[in-house]
Amino acid sequence: MYGSSVGYAVLHDLIYRERLVQYFDWWYPDQGFNWMGLGNEKAREVIDLAVKHGKKLRGNSLASATFKVTSDVTKKSAIAHLEAIISQFPEIICWDAIHESMGDNGHPRNCAWRKGLGSEWEKLILTWANKIRPDIQLFYCDYFRTKIKWKSCYEKIKSWVENGISIHGVSIQLHSNLRPSVLGRFASLNIKEAEYWMKKFKDLGLLLHVPEIVVWQPARYLNLSSLRGKSNVYKEIIRKGLGDYLLASSDVEALQCKVYRQIVDMCVRCGADLIGFWSAFDAYPWNWVGNRAKAGLWDEDFIPKKSFYQLFGG
């Protein structure tokens, strides 16, 4: 059962909509769920369309450590925010309640939620969200680049389970370049390590969702002059892209297909309850670092790529 992020283009692009309806059982808007429920009208339209076509739904980022909020967070404002979002989208049963609250170094991020609510803010969000609507399933969502982050998140979530905190699952982001398909030190995803920790999460009795599988193709060009004053973006391109420059292959699409297959097979071995993609269409890419991506299972003209045939068959 595959899922896909869904952009607002689904409201007007009939080919995009047709592919999503035909091939994906789970839909999750890639935008929306804004602070205090403001400006979520298009997300509402996406959800209505999903319901019309009988899709399962999940929502991301009730409380994200990496997204900005429009004011200082207090207990009153946090509860009001949760009430607004959860009531706006009663059809959504699965929510990423806590989003990216741990840094790569295994330490909590300093964010507006932590500043306003204290070091136990994640537990508070989970408790309040569960009280607002006891029937929803609450997830912790994050990406993982380091072993220490896997370990820290596991220990934190294990303590929540043991202490009766309302956590029902983990939502794992698996973003990768092509390096897992060859030997090299530039891989952005360690598949074996991901499998080890995902199985440990599953052993806690939690639901395991993997809604964000993304496999990038290499950069085709890189204009370093455009990155002056943007050190963080530059570091991301170095980390994610230059390793791919080392690939000597005439068929990048075949390598991409291989990595997608490796990741999906690993998710199956882990007993994932949802396997999904965050950039399934090259026509509407997730490509925030620029100059690269083409992570889709369909190209810009919605023609199936090798990865599509590998995952969905002929």
Q: Residue 181 belongs to a domain with what CATH number?
A: 3.20.20.80
- Considering the domain boundaries, does residue 134 fall inside one? no
- Considering the domain boundaries, does residue 257 fall inside one? yes
- Considering the domain boundaries, does residue 155 fall inside one? no
> Mean per-residue pLDDT for 230-258?
60
Mean pLDDT of the chain: 88
- Considering the domain boundaries, does residue 312 fall inside one? yes
Q: How far is C-alpha 74 from the chain's CA centre?
A: 27
Closest CA to 88 of 45, 139, 130: 45
What pLDDT shows up at residue 71? 75
What pLDDT shows up at residue 176? 86
pLDDT digits (tens, 9 = 90+) for 164-205: 999 999 999 998 877 654 434 555 788 999 999 999 999 999
- Considering the domain boundaries, does residue 113 fall inside one? no
pLDDT for 291 beyond 60: no
What pLDDT shows up at residue 253? 85
What pLDDT shows up at residue 29? 95
DSSP 216: P
Q: How far is CA 171 from CA 19, 66, 87, 113, in A?
A: 24, 16, 22, 20
Closest CA to 131 of 178, 78, 170: 78
Query: Percent of the chain at pLDDT above 90?
Result: 71
Angstrom distance (rounded) from CA 138 to CA 170: 8
What pLDDT shows up at residue 220? 54
In which element (H, E) is residue 305 found?
Answer: none
What pLDDT shows up at residue 184? 47
What pLDDT shows up at residue 252? 80
- Considering the domain boundaries, does residue 289 fall inside one? yes
pLDDT digits (tens, 9 = 90+) for 28-84: 999 879 999 999 999 999 999 999 999 999 999 999 998 878 778 999 999 999 999
- Considering the domain boundaries, does residue 176 fall inside one? yes
- When pLDDT is cut at 50, 70 and 90, the band that residue 288 belongs to is low
- Count each helix (H run) and each strand (E run) in the chain, helices first: 10, 9
- Considering the domain boundaries, does residue 285 fall inside one? yes
Give the long-range contacts of residues 19-25, CB within 8 A, separation 24 or more: 19/281, 19/298, 19/302, 21/53, 21/55, 23/312, 24/55, 24/276, 24/280, 25/1, 25/55, 25/56
Q: Is the pTM of this model over 0.85?
A: yes
For 177, the domain range is: 171-314
Angstrom distance (rounded) from CA 93 to CA 168: 11
Closest CA to 263 of 214, 305, 297: 214
Residue by residue, DSSP assigns 96-145 as: EEEES-B-TTSSB---HHHHHH-TTHHHHHHHHHHHH-TTSEEEEEEE--
pLDDT digits (tens, 9 = 90+) for 86-137: 999 999 999 999 999 999 999 999 999 999 999 999 999 999 999 999 999 9
Q: Which residue has the higher pLDDT, 23 or 251?
A: 23
Burial pattern 203-241, b for ≥16 Cβ within 10 A else e, equals ebebbbbbbbbbbbbbbeebeeeebeeeeeebebbeebb
Residue 28's SS3 state is strand
Q: Which residue has the higher pLDDT, 245 or 303?
A: 303
What pLDDT shows up at residue 287? 62
Query: Percent of the chain at pLDDT above 70?
Result: 84
Q: How many domains does the chain have?
A: 1
What pLDDT shows up at residue 178? 73
pLDDT digits (tens, 9 = 90+) for 210-239: 999 998 876 554 555 555 555 555 455 555
What pLDDT shows up at residue 276? 98
